[in-house]
Amino acid sequence: MCQRILKQGKGWRLGWTRDPLPYQALVGGDDWAMELTAAEFADFCRLTAQLNQTMNQMREVLMEEEKIACEAESDLVWLEGEGFPQSYSLRLILQKGRSCEGNWSAEAVKELIKALETFQVF
State the pTM of this model: 0.92
- Asked whether the beta carbons of 82 and 93 are under 8 A apart, the reply is no
- Asked whether the beta carbons of 15 and 4 are under 8 A apart, the reply is yes
Supply the CATH classification number for the domain 4-118.
2.30.31.10
> DSSP assignment, residue 7?
E
Least confident of 1-10, 19-28, 37-46, 81-90: 1-10
Mean pLDDT in the chain? 92
pLDDT-derived band at 4, boundaries 50, 70, 90: confident
Q: Give the per-residue pLDDT at 10.
A: 97
Domain ranges of the chain: 4-118
Residue-wise pLDDT for 70-111, tens only, equals 999 999 999 999 999 999 999 999 998 888 999 999 999 999
